[in-house]
Amino acid sequence: MNFSDLTFVDHPVIAGATQTVQVFPNGWQVSIVAGPARGGLRLAGTIGEDTFEVAVIDPRRGMLEDILPWQTPVQITTILRLVEML
């Protein structure tokens, strides 16, 4: 799986933000969000700057320790491939 395979939609809660959630056959999920540069709730990823906030979710224990802030598309592709192999 590559970053370019993802489809982003408007975030259901945060105005002006975008989100995608990839669910893998192994039950793990990766949530990727980015928000506007100004105003509203500040996310650790910014639309237009190619940075994203990533959360990895274990099907048994929930979200891992913390989000991964300011991830680039290349870093996200690496994360997706690693989670897919778990």
Domain containing 39 equals 3-84
| Number of domains composing the chain | 1
Sole residue written with tokens 């506007």: 36
Q: Angle at the Cα of 12 (from 11 to 14), degrees rounded to 5?
A: 60
What is the pLDDT tens value at each position of the chain, 86 positions in all? 899 999 999 988 888 899 999 999 999 999 999 988 776 667 888 888 899 999 999 988 877 888 999 999 999 999 999 999 98
Beta strand residue intervals within the chain, DSSP E: 9-10, 18-23, 29-34, 52-58, 62-63, 68-71
pTM: 0.88
